[in-house]
Chains A and B, each alone.
Chain A
Amino acid sequence: MTLTVAPYGDSALLATVSGGSVEDRWLAVRRLADAVEADGIPGVLDVVATYDALLVEFDCARTTHDEVAGALRDARGTAAVPTPTTYRIPVVYGGEHGPDLPDVAAQLGLTERDVVRLHTETPWVVRFRGAPAGAPMMDGSRFPAPISRCPRPRTHVPAGSVAVSGRQAVIYPVRSPGGWRLIGRTPLRLLDLGYRPGDVFRFESHG
Chain B
Amino acid sequence: MADVLAVHQAGMVAVTDLGRQGHSRDGIPPNGAADQFSAAVANILVGNRENSPLIEVTASAFAFTTTRAALISVTGAPATLTCGGRPHRMWEPVCVPAGARVAVHNVHNGLRTYVAVHGEFQVPFVLGSCAPDSLLEVGTWLRAGAELAVDTDYVPVDHPVFRHPVFRLAAPTPRFGSPWTIDVTDGPAGADFVDLDRTLLSEPYRITPTSNHIGLRLSGPAPTRLDTRELLSRGVPVGAVEVTPSRELLVLLRGRPVTAGYPVVAVATRVAQSALGQAAPGHVLRFRRQALPDAVAAYRARRRAMDALTARVRTAFGCVGIPCH
Quick check: is B315 within 8 A (CB to CB) of the other chain? no
Across the interface, do A48 and B270 meet the contact criterion of CB distance under 8 Å?
Answer: no
Name the residue in B137, B232, B233 with the highest tally of chain A Cβ atoms < 10 Å from its Cβ. B233
- Given A10-B296, A133-B135, A61 and B303 touching (CB < 8 A)? yes
Q: How far is the CB of B235 from chain A (nearest CB, A)?
A: 3
A25 to B269, CA, bound (A): 30
A side interface size, CB within 8 A: 39
In the bound complex, residues from chain A placing their C-beta under 8 Å from that of B292 are 7, 10, 65
Question: Roughly how many angstroms separate A191 CA and B137 CA in the complex, as a whole number?
Answer: 12
Given the complex of chains A and B, what is the CA–CA distance between A61 and B304 in angstroms?
9
Q: How far is the CA of A12 from the CA of B239 in the complex (A)?
A: 11
A139 to chain B, nearest CB (A): 11
**Least Cβ–Cβ distance between B133 and chain A, in angstroms:** 8
Whether B257 lies near A6 (C-beta < 8 A) is: no
Residue numbers in A under 8 Å from B22 (CB-CB): 45-46
**B168 CB-CB contact with A under 8 Å:** no
- Contact residues, B225-246 vs A (CB, 8 A): 232-237, 239-240
Whether a CB of chain A sits under 8 angstroms from the CB of B267 is: yes
Contact residues, A40-79 vs B (CB, 8 A): 45-55, 57, 60-61, 64-65
The reply to whether B257 and A9 contact each other, CB–CB distance below 8 Å, is no
> Which of B28, B188, B237, B299 is A134 in contact with, Cβ under 8 Å?
B28
Which residues of A have CB within 8 Å of B257? 130-132
Given known pairs A8-B188, A10-B270, the reply for A47 and B300 (CB within 8 Å) is no
Query: A55, B235: Cβ atoms under 8 Å?
Result: yes
User: Nearest chain A CB to B268's CB is how many angstroms away?
Assistant: 8
For residue B21, CB closer than 8 A to chain A, the reply is yes
CA distance A49 to B25 in the complex (A): 6
Beta-carbon nearest neighbor of B137 in chain A: A174
The answer to the question of A104 belonging to the interface, with a C-beta cut-off of 8 Å to chain B, is no
Cβ contact of B259, chosen from A9, A11, A46, A50, cutoff 8 A: A50
Nearest residue, chain B, Cβ from A176: B135
How far, in Å, is B240 (CB) from chain A's closest CB? 7
Q: How far is the CB of B227 from chain A (nearest CB, A)?
A: 16
Do A50 and B299 touch (CB < 8 A)? no
Q: In the complex the two chains form, is A133's CB within 8 Å of B234's CB?
A: no
Least CB distance from B272 to A in Å reads 9
In the complex, the answer to whether B27 meets A129 with C-beta atoms within 8 Å is yes
A43 and B307 alpha carbons, distance in the complex (Å):
17
Kindly state whether residue B113 has any CB partner on chain A within 8 Å: no
Contact, CB under 8 Å: B27 / A131: yes
Q: Are A129 and B26 in contact (CB under 8 A)?
A: yes
- A50 with B188: CB separation less than 8 A: no
User: Given A10-B292, A51-B233, A57-B237: A135 and B27 within 8 A (CB)?
Assistant: yes
List of B residues within 8 angstroms of A191 by Cβ = 136
Contacts A47-B25, A130-B259, A131-B259; A60 near B300 (Cβ below 8 A): yes
Q: In this assembly, does B70 line the interface, its C-beta being within 8 Å of a C-beta of chain A?
A: no
A163 on the B face (CB < 8 A): no
- Can you identify 8 A-B contacts, CB atoms within 8 angstroms? A7-B185, A10-B185, A46-B23, A46-B24, A54-B235, A130-B258, A175-B135, A191-B136
14 more CB-based (< 8 A) A-B contacts, given A9-B295, A12-B267, A53-B235? A8-B187, A9-B269, A10-B270, A14-B188, A14-B235, A37-B25, A46-B25, A47-B235, A49-B235, A51-B233, A54-B235, A128-B27, A130-B257, A131-B259
List of 6 A-B pairs having minimum Cβ-Cβ separation, nearest first: A48-B235, A55-B235, A131-B257, A9-B267, A134-B27, A10-B295
B contacts, CB < 8 Å to A: 21-30, 135-137, 185, 187-188, 232-237, 239-240, 257-259, 264, 267-270, 292, 295-296, 299-300, 303
